[in-house]
Amino acid sequence: MNDIIIWRLIGATLLIGIVSSISQIRSDIARINVNLNRIAKQVGVPDTVTDELKSLLLEGEKIKAIKKYRIATGAGLLEAKEYVDSLSERE
């Protein structure tokens, strides 16, 4: 009985550690993407994804724009929706 409790505690601890590591990695990737986008703007790399998203928004295809952004960036659903919403507010 005590062995089961110990193994469950070990498993829970490992799970919490893994989730924490994944969360840290995601925030690191987000920070790196922000820096990369700034560098790309300074160098003058055209942002074709944003142009395509704006085109989809003008056609009323918001869901397709969100999906395209997720595929292009690997972003989560909420992050993609917020980005597409911010694009539509700028228009």
Do both 50 and 87 map to the same domain?
Answer: yes
Number of domains in the chain: 2
* pLDDT higher than threshold 90 for residue 89: no
DSSP string, 41-52: HHHT---HHHHH
Q: Tell whether 6 and 31 lie within a shared domain.
A: yes
Are residue 88 and residue 51 in the same domain, yes or no?
A: yes
CA distance 12 to 42: 46
Span 32-64, pLDDT tens digits: 988 988 898 898 877 778 889 999 999 999 999
The pLDDT tens digits for 21-34 are: 999 999 999 899 88
- Same domain for 89 and 54, yes or no, is yes
Range of the domain at 39: 1-45
Share of the chain above pLDDT 70, in %: 99
- Statement: residue 87 has pLDDT above 70: yes
Whole-prediction pTM: 0.56
35 and 62: one domain? no
Report how far residue 32's alpha carbon sits from residue 11's, in angstroms, rounded to the nearest whole number. Answer: 31
> What does each C-alpha distance from 56 to 59, 66, 71, 79 come to in angstroms?
5, 9, 15, 18
Residues 50 and 89 in one domain: yes
